[in-house]
């Protein structure tokens, strides 16, 4: 079942009744809305005048819905996490924390290779130079000791957008603003899936920043970034104005969880595919497998 992403940009009062999300509005005469909580995969809260009841928060967490809060710049800045994400959580934490360095280096090699391969295919589909990336994807060594990820990223960003003066920089010119928003949504999806698979999103296989609570999410989302890039590319090509991240653009980017991706030769919504990826990762930590399932961009 495809879970719904619900976005709130206006003041609202959110509560629960009969296992449903009940949305009430402060404006008189505006009709109350209801959504089954079991249908919700992500709740994005942008307006500071949104009120949630504790009962609703509890039910959302129990149903493994990601509750994402936005800052003053309207960018996702936090995700509400459950204390217990899986019945075997303690054992899976232990397996993750005890993972050997050679295993983590191998997992990072797979991750980088999958990311570069997807980037190469994206350039190919856009009729752009991609052969270097395709070659680099096959040359990634254990732990990516030659830093192919950074080399490939520099080449990819120089060639993907036909936007004068564009470079990939968080505070750079559009469409950087769209990429930032899309990646923040993707990060929340990844963190949700990791927690649901019983792992710690803060303990990475490559990223190690002590100030980053989502190091593992930042690792695992890498091969999935291409789907944000594809969506942003199509928005840029449509001629839509990009300077302001308006409601229309956000609505387009909030389609990310439902984008169809190919994983293990099967088509799945991105949010479902991410759970397959994180489950395959925990199997690697448990010694049951040596391969992470990542989507193949086609």
Q: Is the pLDDT of residue 72 over 90?
A: no
Instruction: Find out whether 91 is annotated in a ligand binding site.
Output: no
Q: Is the pLDDT of residue 162 over 80?
A: yes
Q: Is the pLDDT of residue 117 over 70?
A: yes
pLDDT score at 76: 84
pLDDT score at 205: 97
Q: Which domains does the chain have, with CATH numbers?
A: 4-80 (3.100.10.20), 89-285 (1.20.120.920)
Distance CA 262, CA 245 (A): 29
Query: pLDDT tens for residues 127-159?
Result: 999 999 999 999 999 999 999 999 999 999 999
As a 3-state breakdown, the chain gives helix, strand, coil percent values, each rounded to 5, of 45, 15, 40
Query: pLDDT tens for residues 201-250?
Result: 999 999 998 888 899 999 999 999 999 999 999 999 999 999 999 999 99
Average pLDDT over residues 89-98: 96
CA–CA–CA angle 216, 217, 221 (5° rounding): 120
Q: Is the pLDDT of residue 1 over 80?
A: no
Whether 281 and 197 have beta carbons less than 8 Å apart is answered as yes
Instruction: Find out whether 230 is annotated in a ligand binding site.
Output: no
Checking DSSP bridges between strand 40-45 and strand 4-8, what pairing results, if any? parallel
The alpha carbon of 21 is separated from its chain's Cα centroid by a whole number of angstroms, namely: 24
pLDDT score at 79: 87
The pairs formed by 239-242 with CB atoms below 8 angstroms and a separation of 24 or more are 242/174, 242/175, 242/177, 242/178
Distance CA 149, CA 157 (A): 12
Q: Is the pLDDT of residue 82 over 90?
A: no
The alpha carbon of 102 is separated from its chain's Cα centroid by a whole number of angstroms, namely: 26
Confidence of residue 259 (pLDDT cuts 50, 70, 90): very high
Instruction: Find out whether 222 is annotated in a ligand binding site.
Output: yes
């Amino acid at each position: 079942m495809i879970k719904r992403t619900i976005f709130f940009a206006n003041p609202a009062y959110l509560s629960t009744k009969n296992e449903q999300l009940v949305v009430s509005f402060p404006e008189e005469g505006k009709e109350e809305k209801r959504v089954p909580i079991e249908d919700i995969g992500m709740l994005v809260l942008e307006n500071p005048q949104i009120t949630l009841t504790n009962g609703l928060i509890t039910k959302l967490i129990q149903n493994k819905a990601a509750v994402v809060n936005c800052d003053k710049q309207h960018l996702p800045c936090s995700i509400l996490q459950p204390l217990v994400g899986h019945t075997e959580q303690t054992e899976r934490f232990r397996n993750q924390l005890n993972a050997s360095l050679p295993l983590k280096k191998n997992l990072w090699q797979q991750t980088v290779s999958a990311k570069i391969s997807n980037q190469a295919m994206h350039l190919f589909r856009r009729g752009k130079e991609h052969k270097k990336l395709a070659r680099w994807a096959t040359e990634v060594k254990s732990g990516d000791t030659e830093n192919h990820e950074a080399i490939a990223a520099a080449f990819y960003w120089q060639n993907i957008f036909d936007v004068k003066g564009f470079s990939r920089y968080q505070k750079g010119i559009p469409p950087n603003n769209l990429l930032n928003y899309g990646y923040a949504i993707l990060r929340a999806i990844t963190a949700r899936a990791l927690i649901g698979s019983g792992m710690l999103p803060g303990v990475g296989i490559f990223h190690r920043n002590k100030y980053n609570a989502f190091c593992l999410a930042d690792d695992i989302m890498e091969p999935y970034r291409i789907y944000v890039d594809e969506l942003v590319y199509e928005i840029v090509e449509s001629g839509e104005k990009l300077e302001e991240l308006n409601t229309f653009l956000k609505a387009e980017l909030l389609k990310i969880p439902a984008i169809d991706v190919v994983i293990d030769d099967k088509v799945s919504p991105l949010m479902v595919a991410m759970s397959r990826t994180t489950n395959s990762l925990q199997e690697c930590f448990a010694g049951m497998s040596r391969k992470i399932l990542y989507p193949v961009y086609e």
